[in-house]
Structure 1
Amino acid sequence: MKLSAYSHSPGAHCGSASLRNLADFYGWGFSESVCFGLGSGLGFGYYERGPASRIIMGRNGGLETGYFETLGIDYDERSGQKWESAWNDVRESLADGVPVMLFVDLYYLDYFKSDTHFGPHILLCVGIDGDEVLLSDSEFDSIKRLPVSHLRDAWNSDYGFGPLDNRWLVVRDPTVETPFETAAETAIERTATMLLSPDDGDWKTQGIDGIRQFADDLPAWTELEDTSWCARFAYQNIERRGTGGGAFRRLYADFLDEAASEVGLQEDVPTQLYDIADDWTHLSTTLKNASEAEGEEQAQLLENASDQANAIADREEAFFDGLRKL
């Protein structure tokens, strides 16, 4: 059982690429960057639990649901079901010709060959073939196969940014109710507000306040037992691991560039965010170097990273305050 009408394409980020593939499937016509922007995916979180003892993330956790809500698309989302119930729901959706978005720990995805737990990693389930499930994963050029038993482990992992709890999401009615201009304006306003006045939720600190807390804490990372791994993972979460580069800022700048004429943004607005994305990339290089250094050299690099992160916080505060006023 495979969705014959579904066409897979890879992308920059797992969540926004999955949304883009759904946009292609349903004929919504949105690029990946537009999907990311309409979902108000940009953010920042500083976390004290996960693969390393200190974690940063450049997006927020509401991208996928925010996308559907902003566009007025009817969807159904479930989590916390027992395996049998959740799996039956997935099978029924596939039988109805509907792809299912799954939130998983990539450690259990054989084709990744990863020794690090990381979740949620977002992908689309697009078929079942015997004892294997067919997965549309943005990191790869073609549909991947995975034993159903391994999906069970990946789908209910306790690792990552919180328990995954067999979470899934499907589109119930693909009708887009909200005009693009209205949706884009709403999404931009929400993004700016979340960065400037965040609700901390389960994170230690979110938004621009979170960037400043991260910056202020960096010199003290030398006291951690996993200093090098924290620095390495922070580098990866800025520049790799599906961010599109620059802590997701390039992906969001692409959205602003595409939406500029629709929402009346000046041409230099996306350029300003591209410049900020470059600053994040430079910070990631400092963190990567710190992960490979020791002693006083590592301490000095973390001090340098602290200065860079504080400067980024200042730039982002001015940028998003201006964007919200626009």
Structure 2
Amino acid sequence: MIADYPHAPGDHCGSTSLRNLADYYGWGLEEAGCFGIGAGIGFEYDELGPTSRIILGRNAHLETNFFENLGISVVQQEGGSRPSAWDGLETQLESGPVLCYVDLYYLPYFGSDTHFGPHTVVVIDVTDDSVTISDSEFPELQTVSRQAFDDAWRSDYGFWPLDRWWLTVDTPELTVPTDTATRQAIESAARTMLDGRQDERSGVAAIRAFADDLPQWTAFDDVQWTARFAYQNIERRGTGGGAFRRLYGTFLETLGTNAGLDDHFGERMRRIADDWSELGSVLRDVSETDDTAEHATLLEDASDRAAALAAREEELFTDLAAGL
């Protein structure tokens, strides 16, 4: 057991895990800063998941981007046999805590009937029978059986299949100054959001695809569950509210301003986050009525709101790229 690991809950699993690691290694970063330096903002719209359509407001590479932007040396592994994965995990725990991706459906302390992954946790101990986890959703450490953890660690469900991925810090030295890392991360985030114009699965283009498709959701047999899950992925499920935009706004207001950006960017992002929250409320309303005519009206409203948000985000990230 890593007895001095500073576990504390937070808004988002990935950025909270990174914040706790930052506290452990003395990097002096808050959760929003970890999210931003990981270029965590993003948007994906896809058909893969527990509902007919899913949305995700973060970048899939938050955790690895964080270490790369700060120049922190890490060791990571994915795939391979079950014995080799567990040997790697246990060996790395001799040096420090280990980040892992899991499907929370298999973790009994969640009591969830929905597959959801990758959910980022930090493993701080493994015994012959159990695994001790630092999970952002809970104020206390959680302990599960090895079998339960392995089921969660190797899952074919979620936003993408999970194959016993782990990452641990090799050398905890920051080799890139925080201001430099911040500017690199903002440039990367802007590129991800804007270059997605050519790929409707990510970035601003994905928000537009989401907006265009919303009125067609009335044809889904699971329209209420699809809308509910989308609402949850905007306002709940570890987003910090507003489809992760509220976390990113705090990052822009703090580390972004410290790195020389105009302080109005954080305020603009917070207003965008508020409007994502309002869109989420419309989708929640869809999930709470059986009236098909009401579904159509609400989804048209949601479509208009999403289209307006796409335009505003394109403008904001264009301005951010120009302001670096």
What range is the shorter-chain TM-score in?
A: over 0.9
Distance 2:197 2:162 in 1: 21
* Aligned-partner residue type, residue 169 of structure 2: V
CA RMSD of aligned residues (A): 1.2
Choose the corresponding residue for 2:212, options 213, 216, 228: 216
* Aligned-partner residue type, residue 207 of structure 2: I
The answer (yes or no) to whether the contact 2:252–2:263 under 8 Å persists in 1 is no
Distance 1:206 1:280 in 2: 17
SS at match of 2:76: strand
* 1:103 alignment counterpart: 101
The aligned runs of 1:265-284 (5 Å cut-off) are: 265-284=261-280
SS at match of 1:160: coil
Distance 1:262 1:274 in 2: 18
SS at match of 2:253: helix
The aligned runs of 1:1-326 (5 Å cut-off) are: 2-96=1-95, 98-198=96-196, 205-293=201-289, 294-326=291-323
Distance 2:76 2:26 in 1: 21
Instruction: Give the direction of change, closer, same or farther, for the CA distance of 1:94–1:200 in structure 2 (3 Å limit).
Output: farther
The answer (yes or no) to whether the contact 2:227–2:286 under 8 Å persists in 1 is yes
Distance 1:260 1:36 in 2: 12
The answer (yes or no) to whether the contact 1:82–1:166 under 8 Å persists in 2 is no
TM-superposed CA distance for 1:199, in Å, is 8.5
SS at match of 1:216: helix
TM-superposed CA distance for 1:205, in Å, is 1.4
The runs of at least 4 aligned residues of structure 1 exceeding 3 Å deviation read none
TM-superposed CA distance for 1:269, in Å, is 1.5
TM-superposed CA distance for 1:263, in Å, is 1.9
Distance 1:114 1:18 in 2: 21
SS at match of 2:109: helix
TM-superposed CA distance for 1:94, in Å, is 1.4
TM-score, scaled to structure 2: 0.97
SS at match of 2:27: coil
Taking only the aligned residue pairs, the percentage that are identical comes to: 51
Distance 1:14 1:181 in 2: 24
* Aligned-partner residue type, residue 121 of structure 2: L
Aligned residues: 322
TM-superposed CA distance for 1:117, in Å, is 0.3
Instruction: Give the direction of change, closer, same or farther, for the CA distance of 1:199–1:212 in structure 2 (3 Å limit).
Output: closer
The answer (yes or no) to whether the contact 2:197–2:205 under 8 Å persists in 1 is no
The superposition leaves residues 200-241 of structure 1 with CA deviations (integer Å, 9 ceiling, x where unpaired) of 78xx51100000000000000111121111100000000000
Distance 1:40 1:200 in 2: 20
Distance 1:75 1:41 in 2: 19
SS at match of 1:112: coil
TM-superposed CA distance for 1:251, in Å, is 0.2
Comparing 222-231 and 207-216, the one that deviates more: 222-231
TM-superposed CA distance for 1:312, in Å, is 0.5
The answer (yes or no) to whether the contact 2:197–2:204 under 8 Å persists in 1 is no
Structure 1 unaligned residues grouped into runs of 5+: none
* Aligned-partner residue type, residue 4 of structure 1: A
